[in-house]
Amino acid sequence: MKIKKFTENKSDLMEILLIGDEDERMIAKYLDKSTIFAVYEQENLISACAVMKIDNETVEIKNIATFQAYQNKGYASILLDFVCKTYKKDFKFIILGTGENRHTLSFYKKRGFVETHRIKNFFINNYSHPIFEDGKQLTDMIYLKKSL
């Protein structure tokens, strides 16, 4: 397994980024400003995470996804840990926003993130079509934060 860092040619990773965020126009808003870390087994892309600097003490995870065939094997956990260690040197906090999905929320909470606030109706107001996860329509964006 290896983790590659991408600061250019990031749209090559669009297929996996669309698993974490299904609207390409939303991805375009942060892709240029993000660094992407991607996990490979041999030359196969497995998992990816886009990280953007917010200010001098905070970075934000804009997208994290694992191809379905490789989910629940620990890849996103390894990637998240790698990202936290990478940014710990220069930043104090890592944040992220996600929809109200109990699997996703428990994934982050188990790994030290705590809820800070929510943006009401974010998914309704910012996406061109309704987003469903586990049969439930996403409405609010829930923000979580972890000290690095």
List residues binding ligand COA (CB under 6 A): 19-20, 47, 64-66, 71-77, 98, 103-104, 107, 110
Smallest separation, CB 14 to ligand COA (Å): 14
Q: Cβ distance 3 to 79 under 8 Å? A: yes
Of 48, 53, 50, which Cα lies nearest the Cα of 71? 48
Residues in the chain: 148
**Complex with ligand COA: residue 8 or 124, whichever CB lies closer:** 124
**Complex with ligand COA: residue 6 or 19, whichever CB lies closer:** 19
Smallest separation, CB 103 to ligand COA (Å): 4
Smallest separation, CB 76 to ligand COA (Å): 3
Smallest separation, CB 47 to ligand COA (Å): 5
Residue 71 has phi, psi (to 5 degrees) of -70, 155
**Complex with ligand COA: residue 27 or 64, whichever CB lies closer:** 64
33: tokens are: 């400003």
Q: Cβ distance 137 to 99 under 8 Å? A: no
Task: Give the C-alpha separation, 65 to 71, whole Å.
Answer: 9
82: tokens are: 């790698």
**Complex with ligand COA: residue 26 or 89, whichever CB lies closer:** 26
